[in-house]
Structure 1
């Protein structure tokens, strides 16, 4: 079930991005040499591929995900997988976590470093049924590489387990994501563990938008209808550029940096208003984003951008299956022997919830990801007045913390 909501409140003064992903696991009744940039880009790229699949089925919806969060949860699952289940994960991700653990750990620490100035918090946890016996290497490796904590949960009482997991998420995302899990997603008899990843970001613009410049302007949504929405406005020097897809469709992009300089928001939209956003989405990858970053030039431009809040909850199971990660969802094929040898586990759900608020002062964003494991049974003017893509990128590592498409206010 996916619920999408986008509203444009007048009063908010921060960009908010929360993100939360859940995978549930049930039981029955790659690579050697990398530099950190290319490694994190592979991880974020998997998330972007998932995004592309979601967009295909919901081209007119507002969609927000955390590519970095998806890569983290898949990495945590990879450490517990074996056999074909593991092979599918490493094939899609294009790296084996065990081979690059030291570097992943470095990247994960850099993303939350105080040097960023803007606040990024990432929290990973595995909630385990009280009497489940977990393999020590799985626990130790997850703790080391993903700073993942292990907590007990009383899944026999789904309401109480759900309340404790949601409370943890609420705390880790500073209250931005308050209800990821509902008790009906947990099976009191079969649920064995829930993996959760939460990402929270709060940044202030390096060059803030003055509230007195915010005025209502026309935004033409994906359905062709016009809406009057509050738009931020600023005349300043920004890095921007334009390029075309292989099929010759031109689009523009701009970088709005946050005050700590290490994190930026990138916005992209087709040059011609007649070209739908869905025409450029399949062209986007971390390589594309790198090429924007390397070709952008500073220009004095008038930026007009909607002030908005958007929330999206997405089930990632179907998009991951399309990409080739199928066995881990199948009770008869899933192999998580490195988590526990005493039971056959499979993933029943991978849910992600993300939220963003964009305003004059800056951005707040938060996301949470949970895996539930259960036992088997070009401008002088840059005007964003039509559907657009946004990315929040940690520039030192290339990690895409959040990305989304905003189709309608």
Structure 2
């Protein structure tokens, strides 16, 4: 995600997606602050679960806003966005601070006698999520600070303490060197998934806040690529492309939301992370489901999952999506940040700081195997019966979440799996 000030338009090169036999996600969240003349203007575990719920609620609202702009594929990381704005809240004060918390739906978590409660909760949440053994969930925060910029010491210490931020000094007037340095940093943090994120930097840039989130997980029950076959995917009545369809028969957790008119399937990764697929029933328009997806509803799906023998058919897909969130966030209450009245005095006493751009980019690559191959042989004697089927051959939603904390890492919708 790239967040900028002053609304200066810049072009970015396309993110290159490595063609590997793995399920991978890489995401970059970047906040850029440009200084302009002023006239241009110890905690209970239940609190972590509450934070995850609030983040999920924010994610569903953001999804609905994004979905009103187009009928295309969607992919974004709610956790990366929430974490970045939580860090930004420490730089803000007054009404700017209040609107960030309200926009993130975190105002009820704030406690006057614990001013650092929210960053502490994010610290605990991210620490819990990162402890996943072979599943890689690496989130990083960094500040690229112009060598002439006077950043408040307290803010710097908080960023290091709560978000383990790297603080790097840079001369933004040397734009070529700055672009090269930051692109290499992002490439390294996302294991090569996001390259050449920036093509140019405004020389009056004072600070860039960068949040990277890299996820790489292998299926707990990988698909056999030899069984992958081409099948029709019904985007609509007139658009029916052929897609590579993965197939597997096993016991999976599933449930049916009869009121919503959809079925839910859980696909677990190797350790502590899972994907939920929400598939509208035949004849149910996916757009009618948008307004019904809530944090409470998703937690209800998870509670009601039951294991059953299934033959599942899931399309392979790759997605890369970018969003100009500064065009969307004002409709969610984030207005002060983008105006000349923005109060970022906890970041710096320098005048004229405001946020002009918030760009978010996420990439996902889903296929048969995952990070590592896994095999197991179980011999049992049971009555033979034909399995029920779960065939994902029409637009669907997906949610990748941390099972212990119920934290939503990625969410999206696939309208056409052939469109990258």
- Tell me which interval the TM-score lies in, with the shorter structure as reference length: 0.7 to 0.9
Q: Does 1:194 align with 2:208?
A: yes
Q: Does 1:405 align with 2:413?
A: yes
- The residue that corresponds to 1:182 in the other structure is 199
Closer, same or farther: CA 162–47 of 1 in aligned 2, 3 Å: farther
Q: Does 1:215 align with 2:215?
A: no
Q: 1:223, CA displacement in angstroms?
A: 7.4
Report the Cα distance in structure 2 between the residues aligned to 1:393 and 1:33, rounded to whole angstroms. Answer: 18
- The residue that corresponds to 2:277 in the other structure is 267
Instruction: Write 1 or 2 for the structure with the bigger share of strand.
Output: 1
Partner secondary structure for residue 133 of structure 1? coil
Instruction: Give the length in aligned residue pairs.
Output: 381
Closer, same or farther: CA 224–55 of 1 in aligned 2, 3 Å: farther
- The residue that corresponds to 1:372 in the other structure is none
Report the Cα distance in structure 2 between the residues aligned to 1:52 and 1:7, rounded to whole angstroms. Answer: 27
Query: Are the counterparts in 1 of residues 16 and 195 from structure 2 also a CA contact under 8 Å?
Result: no
Q: Does 1:323 align with 2:332?
A: yes
State which of 238, 244, 253 in structure 2 corresponds to 1:230. Answer: 244
Report the Cα distance in structure 1 between the residues aligned to 2:88 and 2:15, rounded to whole angstroms. Answer: 32
Partner secondary structure for residue 82 of structure 2? helix
Query: Could you say what the CA RMSD is over the residues aligned between the two structures, in angstroms?
Result: 2.6
Q: 1:98, CA displacement in angstroms?
A: 2.1
Q: 1:316, CA displacement in angstroms?
A: 1.1
Closer, same or farther: CA 34–335 of 1 in aligned 2, 3 Å: farther
Per-residue CA shift, 1:254-289, capped at 9, x if unaligned? 1100111x10011112112x3222211222222222
State which of 300, 303, 312 in structure 2 corresponds to 1:303. Answer: 312
Q: 1:343, CA displacement in angstroms?
A: 2.8
Per-residue CA shift, 1:185-221, capped at 9, x if unaligned? x3212x2111111111111111110111100011112
Per-residue CA shift, 1:164-196, capped at 9, x if unaligned? 11211110010001132231xx3212x211111
- The residue that corresponds to 1:22 in the other structure is 30
- The residue that corresponds to 1:337 in the other structure is 345
- The residue that corresponds to 1:61 in the other structure is 72
State which of 175, 178, 183 in structure 2 corresponds to 1:161. Answer: 178
- The residue that corresponds to 1:118 in the other structure is 135
Spell out structure 1 runs of 4+ moving beyond 3 A.
5-9
Partner secondary structure for residue 362 of structure 1? coil
Q: Does 1:51 align with 2:63?
A: yes
- The residue that corresponds to 2:168 in the other structure is 151
Q: Which sections of structure 1, spanning at least 5 residues, go unmatched?
A: 365-378
Q: Which sections of structure 2, spanning at least 5 residues, go unmatched?
A: 1-8, 38-43, 373-386
Q: Does 1:351 align with 2:359?
A: yes
Closer, same or farther: CA 85–224 of 1 in aligned 2, 3 Å: farther
- The residue that corresponds to 2:116 in the other structure is 98
Q: Does 1:291 align with 2:300?
A: yes
- The residue that corresponds to 1:375 in the other structure is none
Which shows bigger deviation, 40-49 or 332-341? Answer: 40-49
Which shows bigger deviation, 144-153 or 251-260? Answer: 144-153
Report the Cα distance in structure 2 between the residues aligned to 1:100 and 1:34, rounded to whole angstroms. Answer: 14
Partner secondary structure for residue 57 of structure 1? coil
Closer, same or farther: CA 117–363 of 1 in aligned 2, 3 Å: closer
Per-residue CA shift, 1:29-78, capped at 9, x if unaligned? 3xx995211112212332332222111111x2111100000001111110
Report the Cα distance in structure 1 between the residues aligned to 2:173 and 2:143, rounded to whole angstroms. Answer: 17
Partner secondary structure for residue 323 of structure 2? strand
- The residue that corresponds to 1:135 in the other structure is 152
Closer, same or farther: CA 6–385 of 1 in aligned 2, 3 Å: farther
- The residue that corresponds to 2:88 in the other structure is 77
Closer, same or farther: CA 363–250 of 1 in aligned 2, 3 Å: farther
Query: Are the counterparts in 1 of residues 16 and 193 from structure 2 also a CA contact under 8 Å?
Result: no
